[in-house]
Structure 1
Amino acid sequence: MWTALLNAAKNGYIEICKVLLDAGANIEDSDVASWTPLCWAVYKKREDIVRLFIEKGASVNVIDEVRQIIFLFQSYLK
């Protein structure tokens, strides 16, 4: 299910991400493919949002819909 935080992360809206997190949005919510807001920020190469999510305690190891571990930092640095 898409949440406001997932949408903000996917579209690069850092200020909205901050507001949503301050309001109690779940940083570990995921979409139907099990991607979290951090996954989307990494995929979209939004270093500012990646840093925000990590500072807020987002998990950096995520298991996606096919049970593979995504090493976010490795993908991000490519």
Structure 2
Amino acid sequence: MAACENNHLDTVKYLLRAGAAVGHKDIMGFTCLHLAAKLGHYDIVHHLLSKASKYINNQDDGGWTPITWAIEYKHKELVYLLLSKGTDVNMRDKVSNRVHFFCCWSQELYVFVKST
């Protein structure tokens, strides 16, 4: 997880080849994909999705998915990537918000997310 958090792509690749668990969660329910999406590490997110796309809609303890974190921190390129890989924009977090709610800061993102 530290490699994903600190944007060390070569280390992430090495650890995955060695059998690291992509779906492992920390004490807040974050996976590596959550951390990389939150911090805007595009190459890490892209690589993780190429190896384990089934985790794209995993929810953390608050019900947030990687796309929710990418939107919250305004990582537009990551939002587009996650949408292109099939993230579910209709999932709800623990207080019943959908991804559309988090797009309020950007009309462009709202229109794009709404159209998928």
TM-score normalised by length of structure 1: 0.87
Report the CA distance shift for 1:14/1:72 in structure 2 as closer, same or farther (over 3 A).
Answer: farther
Tell me which moved more, 33-42 or 68-77. 68-77
Distance 2:85 2:44 in 1: 14
Aligned length: 78
Report the CA distance shift for 1:67/1:73 in structure 2 as closer, same or farther (over 3 A).
Answer: closer
Counting only pairs closer than 5 Å after superposition, residues 1-78 of structure 1 correspond to structure 2 as 1-25=29-53, 26-72=55-101, 74-77=103-106
TM-score normalised by length of structure 2: 0.61
In structure 1, the gaps of 5 or more residues are none
Greater helix share, structure number: 2
Compute the RMSD of aligned alpha carbons.
1.8
Distance 2:37 2:103 in 1: 19
Distance 1:73 1:65 in 2: 14
Paired AA for residue 89 in structure 2: V
Are the counterparts in 1 of residues 71 and 103 from structure 2 also a CA contact under 8 Å?
Answer: no
Q: Secondary structure at the match of 2:91?
A: strand
Greater strand share, structure number: 1
* Greater relative CO (CA pairs within 8 A, separation 6+): 1
Distance 1:59 1:76 in 2: 20
In structure 2, the gaps of 5 or more residues are 1-28, 108-116
- List, as ranges, runs of 4+ consecutive aligned residues in structure 1 with deviation greater than 3 Å: none
